[in-house]
Structures are given as C-alpha cells and as structure tokens.
Amino acid sequence: MGLSIGIIGLPNVGKSSLFNALAKEQLAQVANYPFCTIHPNHAIVPVPDDRVEQLADLVKVEKRIHATIEFVDIAGLVKGASHGEGLGNQFLGNIRDTAAILHIVRCFEDPHVIHTSDHLDPRGEIETINIELILADMQQLDKKVERLSSQVKGDKKSIPLIEMAKTLYRHLGEGKPISQFPDKDEDSFIELVNEMRFLSAKPVIYVANVDESSLQEGSVYSTEVYSLAAEQDAPAMTICARLEQELVDMSETERKEYLQLAGAEETGLEQVIRQSFSILSLITFLTMNEEEVRAWMVPQGTPAPKAAGTIHTDFERGFIRAEVTPFETFIKHKSWSGVKSAGLMRLEGKEYIVHDGDVIYFRFNI
Ligand SMILES: Nc1nc2c(ncn2[C@@H]2O[C@H](COP(=O)(O)OP(=O)(O)OP(=O)(O)O)[C@@H](O)[C@H]2O)c(=O)[nH]1
Ligand SMILES: [Mg+2]
C-alpha cells in the first residue's frame, strides 16, 4: 500500500516547482503561465530515513529500500472550475485516491509571475479552492443519489445510504467540507466515504510558498495562511518553491545546508514528510535479511499480523509471531544474535501493536 499525496492550488502558485523539488529527477514542466500543467505529474519519492542506512551499514548489506510516497501534481483550479472555468475540475479525479492534500498558497510577490488576481489574498484564495473541492464532491454525490434512487425500489438496503447521501449533499451545500460532518460514526457515512473518496474529507496540509526573503521571518501572507490553517485544525508549513527547485541538482545534504543559510530549518521534502506522517498518524518499522534492509510505513495502532501483511499477504495469513527489538537496541548489540544473547529479542503475538522504529522478523507458516 503506497501513500499518495495530491498537490492543489490556484494556477501559477508554485505547485509544479514544489513537485519538482520533491521529485528531483522526474521533473514536471514549470513555467510562468497559468495552466502550465495539464496532465497530472506523478512521482514516487523515497522517504529519507537514516535508520535504514545505519542498519544496512551495520549488517553490511548493499540494498536499502525506503518507504515511498507518491506525489500527484495536477492542473491549477480557479473559481468556477466546477462549471468549466479554466481547465475545469476533471483533474480532481486524479487526486481522489490520495490520502492527503498539499494545498499550495501563493505568498510570493513577483510582478513577473502572472497571478489570477491583481493582489495576493491567501485567505480568499484558499476559500476559492476549498469551495471547488466541495462543489466537486456535490457533483459526485448528485450522480450517486441518482444511481441509488434507481436501485432503491428493488433494494431496500440502499435507503439509509440514500438518506446519508442527501444529508451530506445538504451539509456540503452549506459550504462545509465532509471532514467537518458531525456524525462520522454512522455506518452509512463510513460506507459512502470509503466508496466516494470525497476530496473535502481528506486531511489538508497548507503550504505558504513565500519569497526567499520571507523564509526566516514569514510575511503577512504566510501569517494569514497559518491562522486560517489553525482555524481548521490543519497543519501549515512555509517553503520557497523556487529556491527549492533551483537546488534540485544538489544532494539532500547540500540542499539542506543551502536552505539553512536562507533561513529554512528543513527541506521542503523533510517538512512535507514530517507533516504527512503526523497528519496521517504513520509510523515506520524495519526489516532485514541477507540482501536488504527495508523500511515500511503503517498507520499507528497497526497490529503485527496486519503489518506483516504489508510485506506479503501470506505473511498475514500464516502469521505465527514477530521477533521484535527497537532500532536503538539493534544498533547497540549489532546483530540479531547480539540482541538475543542480551535477552532483548521479544517474541510478540497477534495482539502486538507495532511501534515506530521496531526492527521485526516475522515468522509465518502457510
Ligand atoms: N518569485 C517566485 N516565483 C515562484 C516561486 N514559486 C514558483 N514561482 C514561479 O511561478 C511560476 C509558476 O510556477 P509553477 O510551479 O509552474 O506553478 P503551478 O502552480 O504549477 O502552475 P500551473 O501548473 O500553471 O497551475 C514559475 O515561473 C515559477 O518559477 C517562488 O517561491 N518565488
Ligand atoms: Mg503546474
């Protein structure tokens, strides 16, 4: 199960620039005209995790496989996109399967870069995009209600679903996202959300794309992004997409050093990954054999058999036990045999909840 994140925003706000900085080799076209991106760009990016390197160095294996995140960069949305304005909203279909959304907001002033309006208005622009997400969900629901209504005569089971679909339609109609729906425990709500993958249900990370000179202190515009994000209980971060993109050819370490000089503590990628892990409550566990050390991403609270299932469904089906030790313990005792002789290898069963940094060897039998 790969993790996928969609990048949205108005045209010409720096979506593709950020995408390129995240994706490095797999560049999307960046240009100073609105709607430069038409077809969605996809990039699979390894999640930097030094623990993989440390373990692989220790046990002397070449192959290091990191967990990955897929980023999807789509065309800019404008007000009225749901009615066909700009390039319309059909591109939103490309981010329906993503787990979270990066919402890029233009906070840089540059008379050379065309903007959809004559002044920057982060709050208004965020609202424009969020309304388009809501309208796109309403369009989906409209079709769903129609389909359910034609079924409902023969199939009474659809009655609660159709009621919920109508309730959600009204909720969206008040300008509220699905993420703010109050009765999230209702079965029909859960069923519809799983099936429809509503855009306005996805967790959002707001990204203030600022001038290089505002990286350190922020600006009135980035402050506005942060306060709006806080009102929605959403995380926010600051980047300078242009600068990040200029540094694409550098190594991750060089890029970090360069950005630190400009006043950023982390690279855009590091920030995005940290925020995504936090908003989606993800953790990483590690596995190794003679050939490779590998990191795996799972949601917090994942039981051992389910975690084993991310490696292979057979591992979950035939799960016997997990041999577990924390990363630090493994490093300290240098090998499984070292960990065992120190009495620090734990045998865990089906109920065990995997922790971040667990080094695990799964025993299974099918
Ligand atoms: N000054 C400045 N310019 C930027 C920054 N980020 C992006 N730009 C410029 O803005 C223009 C548009 O950037 P893109 O990354 O193509 O924007 P986009 O959001 O993908 O645009 P569309 O695909 O057209 O929706 C380019 O000329 C970028 O160089 C920034 O942080 N500062
Ligand atoms: Mg673009």
* pLDDT at position 60: 94
Which tokens sit at 325?
A: 């030790």
Residue to substitute in 36, 211, 214 for testing ligand 1 pocket (most ligand atoms within 8 angstroms of CB): 36
Last residue of a domain, one of 221, 249, 279: 279
Closest ligand to Cα 115: 1
pTM reported for the whole predicted model = 0.90
Strand partners, 346: 324
Ligand 2: centre distance to CA 316 (Å): 41
The label of the residue with tokens 């908003």 reads 279
Q: Confirm if 284 and 340 have CB atoms less than 8 A apart.
A: no
Last residue of a domain, one of 248, 279, 310: 279
* pLDDT at position 246: 87
Helix (H) or strand (E) holding 8: strand 3-8
Same domain, 197 and 50: yes
Residue 184's domain spans which residues?
A: 3-279
Ligand 2: centre distance to CA 28 (Å): 7
Q: Is the beta carbon of 271 within 6 A of some atom in ligand 1?
A: no
In angstroms, how far is CA 84 from the centroid of its own chain? 27
Q: How far apart are CA 109 and CA 6, in angstroms?
A: 25
- Report pLDDT digits (tens) over 74-102: 888 888 888 888 877 888 888 888 999 99
Please report the atom of ligand 1 found closest to the CA of residue 30: 16
Please report the atom of ligand 1 found closest to the CA of residue 104: 19
Has residue 352 been placed in a domain? yes
Has residue 134 been placed in a domain? yes
Which tokens sit at 138?
A: 């309403």
Has residue 288 been placed in a domain? no
Q: How far is CA 316 from CA 28, 121, 355, 362, in A?
A: 38, 50, 17, 9
Q: How far apart are CA 5 and CA 75, in angstroms?
A: 15
Same domain, 222 and 138: yes
Same domain, 101 and 175: yes
Has residue 95 been placed in a domain? yes
The label of the residue with tokens 């209600």 reads 145
Please report the atom of ligand 1 found closest to the CA of residue 29: 16
Residues in Cβ contact with 12 at an 8 Å cutoff, skipping those fewer than 6 apart: 32, 33, 34, 36, 76, 106, 113, 114, 115, 116
Q: How far apart are CA 39 and CA 190, in angstroms?
A: 31
Same domain, 261 and 344: no
Ligand 1: centre distance to CA 189 (Å): 38
Which tokens sit at 126?
A: 């965020």
Has residue 293 been placed in a domain? no
Residue minimizing CA distance to atom 4 of ligand 1: 242
Same domain, 181 and 267: yes
Last residue of a domain, one of 249, 279, 309: 279
Same domain, 324 and 242: no
Ligand 1: centre distance to CA 188 (Å): 41
Same domain, 229 and 318: no
* pLDDT at position 112: 80
Has residue 337 been placed in a domain? yes
Burial 297-314 (b: 16+ CB within 10 A, else e): bbeeebbbbbbbbbbeee
Which tokens sit at 158?
A: 């659809």
- Report pLDDT digits (tens) over 202-228: 999 999 999 999 998 999 999 999 999
Strand partners, 239: 209
Low-confidence ranges of the chain (pLDDT < 50): 1
* pLDDT at position 230: 97
* pLDDT at position 1: 46
Q: Is the beta carbon of 12 within 6 A of some atom in ligand 1?
A: yes
Q: How many domains does the chain have?
A: 2
Q: How far is CA 232 from CA 57, 79, 329, in A?
A: 43, 21, 40
Strand partners, 42: 72
Q: Is the beta carbon of 13 within 6 A of some atom in ligand 1?
A: yes
Same domain, 348 and 236: no
Same domain, 214 and 331: no
C-alpha torsion sign, points 339, 343, 344, 346 = positive
Residues in Cβ contact with 264 at an 8 Å cutoff, skipping those fewer than 6 apart: 215, 216, 238, 239, 240
Please report the atom of ligand 1 found closest to the CA of residue 37: 23
Has residue 229 been placed in a domain? yes
**326 closest CA partner among 345, 351, 304:** 345
Residue type, 56: A
Q: How far apart are CA 90 and CA 273, in angstroms?
A: 27
Long-range contacts formed by 178-181: CB under 8 A, 24+ apart: 178/137, 179/203
Which tokens sit at 361?
A: 């060897």
Helices marked H in 24-121 — which ranges? Answer: 50-59
Ligand 2: centre distance to CA 71 (Å): 13
* pLDDT at position 259: 87
Has residue 321 been placed in a domain? yes
Beta strands, E only, 200-329: 204-210, 236-239, 282-288, 292-299, 319-326
Same domain, 252 and 332: no
Query: Can you give the CATH number for the domain in which 27 is found?
Result: 3.40.50.300
Same domain, 52 and 144: yes
Same domain, 305 and 261: no
Which tokens sit at 142?
A: 């409209």
Ligand 2: centre distance to CA 8 (Å): 9
Ligand 2: centre distance to CA 32 (Å): 9
Query: Can you give the CATH number for the domain in which 348 is found?
Result: 3.10.20.30
